[in-house]
Structure 1
Amino acid sequence: MPFSTLGLGPALANAVREHAYAEPSEIQSAAIPAILAGHDVLASAQTGSGKTAAFCLPILEALQNRPRSAPRVVQALILVPTRELAVQVTETLRSLAEHLAHPVKLATLFGGVSINPQMMHLRGGADIVIATPGRLLDLIEHNALQISQVATLVLDEADRLLELGFAEELSRILSLLPGKRQNLFFSATVPPQVEALANGMLRDPLRIEILSTAIGAPDITQRAIVVDAKLRTQLLRHLIEDQKWTRVLVFVATKYAAELVAAKLRRLRINAEPFHGELSQGKRSQVLMDFKASRVKVVIATDVAARGIDISNLPVVVNYDLPRSSEDYTHRIGRTARAGESGIAVSFICSDAANQAHFRLIEQRQQKKIPREHIAGFEPSEQSIEISNTAAPAGDPNGGIKGKRPSKKDKLRALATPDE
């Protein structure tokens, strides 16, 4: 099915061909006609399925058919949880709009950088605003823009917006928007808090759920390696060298761990950089550029990198620390095997009982059992093996462990333990 059959005009149909989109993905085939028809949409699909283009294309198409004004009026507002996702969405819009008859002015707004250049860019208005909630409200308070005439609101990664504590900001933003507008929710998962928000905002929405299937699921080989916590960095080095991994994205729990593990790898003569929310925007952008260009081999990241970072041909993702939830696990491993590629996701399973139980819960939620591996030279202690082989009581959704997850202090102490 070509894109032209979805209701897109010749200019955008040509644009997608130029960007090597052979045919629409399942989420695009379902969402684009519905959005062009004016429906509210609640869409969920796996990472790497083409959700961004699914809302960008109809927004651009509708914009071409609306009357122009001077100064420009914000027609579409796309809210995202992170700077990186804001940049990615902007890049997608810019590339698709490159050959449109009417130029489109985009405004990308996020914190962590000076507000003044963003205020200057907003002079004369903008057609589409891509923003994180906090910086958007800052600019509204500075009278740099108005959103009272927005025709389309998009919440991209809606679950992450709520998870990161943006509920209050979202409420303030919604109060400034016109009551009559189109609302689009896109995410890889739809937990209860997103469902509740959707029920309060969306009007008779079209619900689109693209389930992972054996055919449509990303081609990710998942591995789980049991190892003592103090040997994780040495094991990571061994795997990088033994498996000849060219680029590796490693997830850790805290910015402290990101800095610590990156420093340890550099001492082992592996080119590694940390990536977390407290780095400057310039540094974060530089790390991503160097990683994409293979000037950096390993990036040690907090979950700020689990959403919105699209790195083509990324072969391996490693969970040095396990994620907090099965949803975060899905987003982490979804950084590999994108756009039809294949990839490997490796999780380090440590010796403590809570870690073992938590990974069993992740397995249950994704309905997939991952065999435990032991790597020669990095075998866990006898205590670890005993814990890993202990079966959870039948029917226990928490894997037999309740109320015994380590505290933040416990985790920091474990991370601070020098690797042998």
Structure 2
Amino acid sequence: RKSELLAHLIKEHSWYQVLVFTRTKHGANRLAAQLEKNGISALPIHGNKSQNARTRALAAFKSGELQTLVATDIAARGLDIEQLPHVVNFDLPNVPEDYVHRIGRTGRAGATGEAISLVSREEQPLLRDIERVIRRQLPREVVPGFEAGSTPSASFVDAPAARDARPAPRGQPRREAGSRSATPGKPRAPSHAAGGKGAPARDARPAGQPQRAGKPAAKPRAEAPRPATAPGAARPGRQSQHRRDERDTSVRSNLPPGWK
């Protein structure tokens, strides 16, 4: 409930020229928007803001036109504001030395100033580190109505984001909330064949496209009977008649003529 507590303190004590420190840039944007929503003029300054935007915000803050300036540590390093009456540590810094630089911006040159830190239960270790560096214990105070566990007011409760409010991917239509049907105008292709068993359908095609005429199934080609042996190959164990009739005439034989 830090945002609500800060708005309460600013309104209750009529604070002007309040320099508020946050830990992150997004936190500065969010806090400034919540203060504006509750009637407190506020602007954030951080590294994502242009130089012109930071210059305009700082000029409005110095002139008193802007009531609250929400800054990060990096953006506030070059700020030079005389007689700054209020510094608020909305978030405690992770580095204890940054706390000293923050509160040193008020009460300069003998002027009076006030530095306040809003500390949650989770930030107690950071507070102890700061006290160890400055070698003193900071006084604690619980603001009535903002005790731990108290219910925040409706103006500081963020509305839950819609589940289907996320932007749709580029090139795809955005799905309406609660709708689970397919894209309008486009029929859903069957996911299974008529025979079942999880087989994907083969006839799925866009609507309006004529179905192709089915081609007759090709008959299986009959294979020619294979010969037992290749043509011209001699069977093993048998000699051709031509080879038996061949005779080397250079070999002499003692057999009588007519004998083979």
- Tell me the TM-score range normalised by the shorter chain: 0.5 to 0.7
**Structure 2 runs not aligned, ≥5 long:** 151-156, 160-260
State the partner residue of 2:61: 291
1:351 to partner: Cα distance: 1.7
Query: Which of 74, 87, 102 matches 1:304?
Result: 74
* Count of aligned positions: 154
SS in 2 for 1:311: coil
Alignment of 1:266-345 (within 5 A): 266-345=36-115
Q: Which deviations, in whole Å up to 9, do the C-alpha atoms of 1:215-245 show, x marking residues without a partner?
A: xxxxxxxxxxxxxxxx111100110011121
CA distance in 2, matches of 1:308, 1:267: 28
Residues 306 and 328 in structure 1, CA contact (< 8 A), matched pair in contact too: no
Whichever residue aligns with residue 63 of structure 2, its letter is A
Residues 316 and 344 in structure 1, CA contact (< 8 A), matched pair in contact too: yes
Query: Which of 265, 277, 288 matches 2:35?
Result: 265
1:381 to partner: Cα distance: 2.9
CA distance in 2, matches of 1:418, 1:313: 35
SS in 2 for 1:330: helix
State the partner residue of 1:240: 10
Q: Which deviations, in whole Å up to 9, do the C-alpha atoms of 1:246-287 show, x marking residues without a partner?
A: 110000011100110000110001100001011000000000
Are residues 1:358 and 2:126 paired? yes
Are residues 1:380 and 2:151 paired? no
Distance change (3 Å), C-alpha of 1:270 and 1:279: same
**Structure 1 runs not aligned, ≥5 long:** 1-230, 383-416
Residues 306 and 331 in structure 1, CA contact (< 8 A), matched pair in contact too: no
SS in 1 for 2:44: strand
Q: Which deviations, in whole Å up to 9, do the C-alpha atoms of 1:174-204 show, x marking residues without a partner?
A: xxxxxxxxxxxxxxxxxxxxxxxxxxxxxxx
CA distance in 2, matches of 1:418, 1:335: 32
CA distance in 1, matches of 2:5, 2:115: 15
Q: Give me the TM-score of the superposition, normalised by structure 1.
A: 0.35
State the partner residue of 2:204: none
CA distance in 1, matches of 2:104, 2:77: 9
Whichever residue aligns with residue 285 of structure 1, its letter is T
Q: Give me the TM-score of the superposition, normalised by structure 2.
A: 0.57
Instruction: Name which one, 1 or 2, has greater alpha-carbon Rg.
Output: 2
1:312 to partner: Cα distance: 1.2
Are residues 1:371 and 2:128 paired? no
Q: Which deviations, in whole Å up to 9, do the C-alpha atoms of 1:376-409 show, x marking residues without a partner?
A: 1111239xxxxxxxxxxxxxxxxxxxxxxxxxxx
State the partner residue of 2:248: none
Q: Which deviations, in whole Å up to 9, do the C-alpha atoms of 1:302-352 show, x marking residues without a partner?
A: 112442311112111001000121210011111111122121111011122
Bigger proportion of residues as helix: 1
Are residues 1:347 and 2:117 paired? yes
SS in 1 for 2:108: coil
Q: Sequence identity, in percent? A: 45
Alignment of 1:158-173 (within 5 A): none
CA distance in 1, matches of 2:75, 2:81: 11
Alignment of 1:112-123 (within 5 A): none
Query: Which of 247, 250, 269 matches 2:20?
Result: 250
Whichever residue aligns with residue 235 of structure 1, its letter is L
Residues 232 and 320 in structure 1, CA contact (< 8 A), matched pair in contact too: yes
Alignment of 1:9-28 (within 5 A): none
CA distance in 2, matches of 1:327, 1:261: 24
CA distance in 1, matches of 2:136, 2:80: 25
SS in 1 for 2:117: strand
Residues 93 and 126 in structure 2, CA contact (< 8 A), matched pair in contact too: no
Bigger proportion of residues as strand: 1
Residues 315 and 337 in structure 1, CA contact (< 8 A), matched pair in contact too: yes
CA distance in 2, matches of 1:373, 1:305: 29
Q: Which deviations, in whole Å up to 9, do the C-alpha atoms of 1:2-53 show, x marking residues without a partner?
A: xxxxxxxxxxxxxxxxxxxxxxxxxxxxxxxxxxxxxxxxxxxxxxxxxxxx
Answer 1 or 2: higher relative contact order, Cα 8 Å, separation at least 6: 1
Residues 273 and 298 in structure 1, CA contact (< 8 A), matched pair in contact too: yes
Q: Which deviations, in whole Å up to 9, do the C-alpha atoms of 1:87-141 show, x marking residues without a partner?
A: xxxxxxxxxxxxxxxxxxxxxxxxxxxxxxxxxxxxxxxxxxxxxxxxxxxxxxx
Aligned-pair Cα RMSD in Å: 1.9
Whichever residue aligns with residue 37 of structure 2, its letter is R
Residues 35 and 41 in structure 2, CA contact (< 8 A), matched pair in contact too: yes
Distance change (3 Å), C-alpha of 1:306 and 1:331: farther
